[in-house]
């Protein structure tokens, strides 16, 4: 929006409103607020006069305190913020960032940790179960192995490729170099 | 004629399928360095021109050494210690050295993942905690340390690390980091609980997910303003940099460390393979995928960095514009970024003293683009700042940190396997103790030792470990690996083994690189690396809020006791090699007169798994 005389009027009204709220006496009029040196930047000086005390200006500290108390109202009247509407010499108190009662990261951390612990427990338990099953099976498998040993010795100590018991394990020693053995 | 032994049906664990194995090797090789070190090197070494020494190093150093390790593990079917003991008891020290390096690196690498996890769990907040400064006590302004540096720096150095100004001041244990460290080790335990049985399943997620996220970031990054500036800046080749030998050294070391050679992890992975497997093709595949990933990752990284530089440039311009407008009381929007320079020159000619009084900062886009960072600075400071500026920053932050976590986790798998597999073979524990217990003990002990990295001075110590334990010993071990296989085990035997495994004869490329080029290259790189380290006194950059030029970091020299630790870290793995050889020499002298270097000739690859 453009800055024109109506906006200046609103500004005077807001300053008067701030003075009234602060000092809680309803004597400040819009005509008590004087603007000067208005530039295109939109920057200006303003003073507040006190009509009850012989047209002297209200001390700067009082005006500052009043503005500070009503800063957000003034801002919202002009649809501006502390950054876009600047009062020189009035530093604004900053609002602290919102902190929830439990930090959010702790909650996320808790979730992650629970998932991991659940995974570990599951794997350990299934590992123990598999171990028990394998123990039971290996006692049965040992009998089978003895029979295999017997058949090997029967064949004059030379293993046969035929003995493909567990998983087709090709005896590469035999498949490869013939030169290691004396030709018959 | 000698009766060859029957290859016993061993209960060695196996990969579920070939793809799992390849993915594990790729996951091990592709790590955090591909994202935060390669783009940085590209940037400071002349953009596209860096690719030339990079690919030469890949061809003559990376691929041959990778093939060597994979073939070795596959042939001998043992972890690093067992494999080298089999080749020659005198070379057992090479395996022990690898094992020690894997331990040292696992310790500090997981702490880096702790930081990533901390950032990840903090990314669920609105606004992101590193985007705003906390207030000071009387709420009139921001916290001083934060105000003088930036909110992102403050969150990293104070809220995360709670860093001390000096390495000698240890500070206290940071409880939030301890929690995250425990979680990270729990995750590592969960994934490596039964060795490759469980990592093989986990790798499907951790190795593939980063590519997904990189693609998403690529698409997002290219739509950001200023992305093209960043990319152009990155890839514009500046061939003059090739005259600097530093560039070649950096290319060689980058390839070497990027492929995670000499850790023993690759030997462990390939030892679970069936012997008749084409390790040559595997090696070439893994190396090429690793390099392509580095290139692919640098595109989104540089788009984002270009975006960040552009926004910083715009911020700088805007700040100057505001001060000029305030000073001259010009109407709003009279000076915009486009006509800023013309306005400034006009005002300078009419009111030079006013302009000089404003003390305007010179805004130069090149200067912002030139600010190069690598390592943790890139991820936790620069990238986090860029993420704040993107719309929907929580989602981007969460994605980014999960990606970093997966990248690091898949590399951790390789490190842990490098520790785990030799321990299983050394038969320290009886066969009946379950694997779960052994991996649990390893993870628990590592967690307890890594608690030192959660101290206030922890990040300084991690830098030390990274610079000394994770660099020089690897070069030494790799050198002895090549020499050991080629000249001690003899390359003729190894060629026969590889031919038996892959079904093809070793071609000339492998012969030449293994015999001459790779060992020579390793020697040159090692000497250059050590010389460069010796040239400058070992110093570090400390974050000291009381420093005069804060927020610049203060350059400090390591105190003597810290320097002793650095030397110890670098020397410990290397010294294993001669120590073990000496030990065996003494043992042999006491036992018999037979001091032959290698066991007798009846010893081919296929007979080794007994």
Domain total for chain A? Answer: 1
Give pLDDT, residue B353. Answer: 81
Structural domain range at position B224: 18-427+434-534+551-592
For residue B156, what is the DSSP state?
I
Helices (H), B273-364: 279-328, 340-350, 352-358
Confidence of residue A57 (pLDDT cuts 50, 70, 90): confident
CB atoms within 10 A of CB A30: 14
CB pairs under 8 A between A and B: 96
Look at chain B and report how many structural domains it folds into: 1
Give the residue ranges of DSSP H helices in B513-598: 518-535, 560-591
- Residue B599 domain-assigned (yes or no): no
Q: Does B599 score more than 90 pLDDT?
A: no
pLDDT at B4: 45
Q: pLDDT tens digits for B479-499? A: 999 999 998 888 888 898 898
Q: What does the H/E/C string look like for B377-395? A: HHHHHHHHHHHHHCCCHHH
Strand partners, A47: A34
Residue A11 has pLDDT above 90, yes or no: no
The answer to whether residue A74 is domain-embedded is: yes
Sign of the C-alpha dihedral computed for residues A9, A14, A19 and A25 taken in this order: positive
* Run of H or E including B557: strand B554-557
Residue A39 lies in a domain: yes
- Can you give the pLDDT at residue B266? 93
Q: Which of B536, B50, B420 is nearest to B255 (CA)?
A: B50
- Say whether pLDDT at A150 is over 60: no
Dist. CA A97–CA B451, nearest whole Å: 32
Cβ–Cβ below 8 Å for A157 and B3: yes
What is the tens place of the pLDDT at every residue in A17-55?
888 888 776 677 777 788 887 777 777 888 887 777 666
| Whether the predicted pLDDT of A167 surpasses 80 | no
Reported ipTM exceeds the 0.95 cut: no
Chain A CB contacts of B194 below 8 Å: 123, 127
Asked if residue A161 is part of any domain, the answer here is no
**B315: number of Cβ within 10 Å:** 13
Q: How far is the alpha carbon of B412 from chain A, nearest alpha carbon, in Å?
A: 17
pLDDT tens for residues B96-108?
Answer: 999 999 999 999 9
CA distance from start to end of chain A: 109
The confidence band for B608, taking pLDDT boundaries of 50, 70 and 90, is very low
- B136-176 pLDDT, tens per residue? 777 667 788 887 888 888 899 998 999 998 888 888 899 99
Q: Enumerate the known binding-site residues of B for Na(+).
A: 27, 29-30, 34, 258, 290, 407, 411
pLDDT for the residue numbered B206: 93
- Does any domain span residue A35? yes
* Partner A contacted by B560 (CB < 8 A): no
Show residues of chain B in contact with A181, CB under 8 Å: 1
**Residue in A40, A127, A181 closest to B329 by CB:** A40
Tokens of B170: 């240890």
Q: pLDDT (tens digit, 9 = 90+) per residue, B30-65?
A: 999 888 889 888 888 888 889 999 999 999 999 999
For residues B256-276, give the mean pLDDT.
91
- The yes-or-no verdict on residue B396 having pLDDT over 60 is yes
pLDDT at A164 over 50: no
Q: Find the radius of gyration of the CA atoms of chain A.
A: 46
Chain B residues close to A173, C-beta within 8 Å: 4, 7, 606-607
A137 belongs to a structural domain: no
- Would you say residue A55 lies in a domain? yes
Quick one: average pLDDT of B315-329? 82
Terminal CA-to-CA distance of chain B, rounded, Å? 19
In a domain, B604, yes or no: no
User: B326 and A43: CB-CB below 8 Å?
Assistant: yes
pLDDT band for B115, please (50, 70, 90 cuts). Answer: very high
Domain CATH number, residue B503:
1.10.4160
Residue B90, Cα to own-chain centre: how many angstroms?
31
- Smallest Cα distance from A39 to chain B, Å: 6
pLDDT of B606 reads: 62
Decide if A122 is inside a domain: no
Q: Does some domain include residue A105?
A: no
CB of B415 within 8 A of CB of B106? yes
Cβ pair B74, B273 in contact under 8 A:
yes
Q: Which domain holds residue A55?
A: 5-78
> Are the Cβ atoms of A93 and B139 closer than 8 angstroms?
yes
| Helices B472-483 + B518-535 axis angle, to 10 | 160
d(CA B50, CA B53): 6
Q: Do A113 and B186 make contact, defined as CB atoms within 8 angstroms?
A: yes
Residues linked to residue B542 through DSSP beta bridges, in sequence order: B554
Q: Report the pLDDT value the prediction gives residue B256, as an integer from 0 to 100.
A: 87
């Amino acid at each position: 929006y453009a800055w024109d005389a109506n906006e200046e009027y609103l500004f005077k009204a807001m300053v008067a409103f701030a003075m009234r709220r602060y000092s809680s006496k309803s004597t400040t009029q819009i005509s008590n607020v004087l603007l000067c040196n208005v530039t295109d930047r939109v920057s200006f000086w303003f003073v507040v006069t006190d009509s009850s005390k012989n047209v002297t200006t209200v001390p700067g500290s009082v005006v500052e305190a009043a503005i500070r108390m009503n800063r957000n109202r003034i801002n919202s009247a002009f649809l501006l913020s502390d950054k876009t509407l600047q009062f020189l010499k009035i530093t604004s108190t900053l609002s602290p960032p919102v902190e929830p009662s439990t930090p959010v990261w702790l909650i996320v951390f808790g979730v992650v940790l629970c998932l991991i612990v659940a995974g570990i427990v599951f794997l350990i338990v299934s590992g123990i179960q598999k171990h028990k099953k394998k123990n039971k099976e290996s006692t049965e498998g040992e009998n089978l192995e003895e029979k295999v040993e017997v058949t090997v010795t029967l064949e004059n100590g030379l293993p046969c490729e035929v003995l493909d018991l567990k998983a087709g394990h090709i005896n590469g020693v035999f498949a490869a170099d013939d030169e290691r053995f004396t030709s018959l | 004629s000698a009766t060859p032994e029957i290859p016993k049906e061993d209960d060695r664990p196996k990969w579920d399928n070939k793809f799992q194995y390849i993915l594990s090797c790729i996951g091990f090789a592709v790590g955090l360095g591909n994202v935060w070190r390669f783009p940085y090197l590209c940037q400071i070494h002349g953009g596209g021109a860096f690719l030339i020494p990079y690919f030469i190093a890949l061809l003559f150093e990376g691929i041959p050494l990778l093939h060597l390790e994979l073939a070795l593990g596959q042939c001998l079917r043992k972890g690093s210690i067992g494999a080298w003991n089999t080749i020659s008891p005198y070379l057992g020290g090479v395996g022990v050295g690898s094992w020690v390096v894997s331990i040292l690196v696992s310790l500090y690498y997981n702490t880096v993942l702790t930081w990533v996890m901390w950032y990840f769990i903090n990314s669920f907040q609105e606004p992101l905690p590193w985007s705003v400064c906390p207030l000071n006590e009387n709420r009139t302004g921001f916290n001083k340390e934060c105000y003088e540096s930036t909110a992102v720096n403050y969150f990293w150095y104070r809220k995360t690390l709670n860093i001390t100004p000096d390495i000698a001041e240890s500070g206290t244990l940071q409880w939030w980091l301890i929690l995250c460290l425990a979680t990270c080790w729990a995750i590592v335990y969960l994934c490596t609980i039964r060795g490759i049985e469980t990592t093989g399943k986990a790798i499907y997620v951790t190795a593939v997910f980063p590519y997904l996220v990189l693609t998403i970031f690529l698409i997002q990054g290219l739509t950001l303003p200023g992305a093209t500036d960043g990319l152009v800046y990155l890839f514009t080749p500046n061939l003059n940099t090739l005259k600097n030998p530093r560039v070649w050294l950096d290319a060689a070391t980058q390839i070497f460390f990027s492929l995670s050679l000499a850790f023993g992890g690759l030997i462990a992975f390939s030892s679970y393979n069936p012997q008749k497997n084409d390790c040559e093709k595997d090696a070439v595949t893994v190396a090429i995928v690793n390099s392509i990933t580095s290139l692919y990752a640098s595109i989104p990284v540089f788009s984002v960095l270009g975006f960040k530089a552009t926004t910083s440039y715009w911020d700088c311009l805007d700040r100057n514009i505001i001060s000029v407008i305030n000073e001259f009381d010009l109407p709003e929007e009279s000076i915009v970024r486009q006509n800023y320079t013309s306005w400034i020159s006009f005002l300078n000619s009419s009111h030079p003293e006013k302009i000089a009084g404003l003390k305007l900062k010179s805004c130069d886009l090149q200067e912002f683009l030139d600010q190069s960072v690598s390592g943790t600075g890139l991820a936790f400071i620069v990238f986090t700042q860029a993420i704040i500026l993107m719309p929907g920053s929580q989602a981007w932050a969460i994605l980014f940190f999960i990606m970093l976590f997966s990248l690091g986790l898949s590399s951790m798998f390789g490190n842990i396997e490098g520790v785990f597999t030799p321990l299983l073979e050394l038969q320290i524990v009886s066969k009946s103790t379950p694997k779960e217990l052994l991996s649990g003990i390893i993870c628990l002990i590592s967690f307890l030792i890594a608690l030192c990295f959660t101290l206030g001075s922890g990040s300084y110590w991690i830098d030390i470990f990274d610079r000394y334990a994770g660099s020089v010993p690897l070069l030494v071990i790799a050198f002895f690996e090549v020499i050991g296989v080629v000249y001690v085990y003899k390359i003729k035997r190894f060629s026969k083994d590889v031919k038996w495994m892959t079904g093809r004869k070793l071609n000339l490329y492998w012969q030449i690189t293994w015999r001459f080029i790779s060992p020579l290259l390793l020697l040159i790189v090692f000497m250059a690396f050590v010389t460069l380290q010796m040239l400058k006194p070992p110093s570090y950059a400390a974050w000291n809020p009381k420093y005069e030029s804060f927020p610049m970091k203060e350059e400090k020299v390591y105190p003597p006791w810290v320097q002793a630790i650095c030397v110890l870290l670098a020397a410990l793995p290397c010294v294993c090699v001669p120590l073990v050889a000496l030990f065996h020499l003494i043992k042999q002298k006491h036992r018999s007169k037979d001091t032959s270097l290698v066991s007798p000739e009846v010893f081919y690859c296929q007979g080794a798994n007994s």
